[in-house]
């Protein structure tokens, strides 16, 4: 469904948000440990999230990654997925036609667009704050 990079990016963002709510910065080492991902690769993904203005990085001693507290409830999963995997998952044809076009649809189009819409709804209606709070309450987990 999502690329590994995207999965790591989402989980990292949630973990950073969780910590930013308590004014703690976190680094790649702690993040990759908490989300069970390779550290160096995770660091690369964090760079991408920084470039896309989803997380902030503070260099130097006592640095790390954080998310502006006021932004945590407005950053949607869709923003993260878009930054890393692009928008093909929303807009692309399920059978890989060059473009999904209702006027010349693939055989799966009618049914597939429902799945895509459900996914789009999920991603566009879910913000980082709610996900972070679920973790905090022990109702969900970032690794198993």
Partner DNA sequence: TGTAAAGAGGACAATTTTGTCCGAATTAAA
Partner DNA sequence: TTTAATTCGGACAAAATTGTCCTCTTTACA
User: Which residues make up the interface to a second copy (CB under 8 A)?
Assistant: 1-2, 4, 7, 10-11, 14, 77, 89, 92, 94-99, 101, 104-109, 111-112, 114-115, 118-119, 122, 126, 131, 134-135, 139-144
Applying CB under 7 A, among 37, 77, 78, 79 the residue interacting with DNA is 37
Examine residue 119 and tell whether it contacts ligand FES (CB under 6 A).
no
DSSP string, 36-105: T--HHHHHHHHHHHHHTTSSEEE-STT-EEE--GGGTTT-BHHHHHHHHHTTHHHHS-TT--SS--TTS-
SS3 26: strand
Examine residue 60 and tell whether it contacts DNA (CB under 7 A).
yes
Applying CB under 6 A, among 95, 115, 117, 122 the residue interacting with ligand FES is 95
Q: If you search the block for the tokens 């997925």, which residue do you land on?
A: 81
The helix (H) or strand (E) run that includes residue 133 is helix 128-136
Copy the structure tokens of residue 92. 């692309």
Examine residue 27 and tell whether it contacts ligand FES (CB under 6 A).
no
In whole angstroms, how close is the CB of 59 to a second copy at the nearest point?
29
Task: State the residues that interact with DNA by CB under 7 A.
Answer: 3-5, 8, 25-29, 37-41, 43-44, 46-47, 50-51, 57-65
């Amino acid at each position: 469904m999502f690329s590994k990079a995207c999965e790591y990016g989402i989980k990292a963002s949630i973990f950073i948000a969780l910590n930013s709510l308590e004014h703690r910065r976190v680094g790649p080492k702690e993040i990759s440990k908490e989300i069970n991902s390779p550290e160096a690769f995770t660091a690369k993904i964090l760079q991408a999230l920084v470039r896309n203005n989803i997380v902030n990085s503070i260099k130097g001693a006592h640095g790390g990654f954080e998310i502006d507290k006021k932004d945590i409830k407005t950053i949607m999963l869709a923003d993260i997925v878009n930054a890393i995997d692009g928008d093909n998952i929303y807009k692309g044809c399920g059978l890989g036609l060059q473009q999904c076009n209702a006027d010349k649809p693939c055989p799966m189009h009618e049914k597939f667009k429902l799945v895509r819409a459900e996914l789009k709804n999920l991603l566009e209606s879910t913000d980082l704050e709610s996900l972070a709070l679920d973790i905090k309450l022990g109702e969900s987990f970032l690794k198993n």
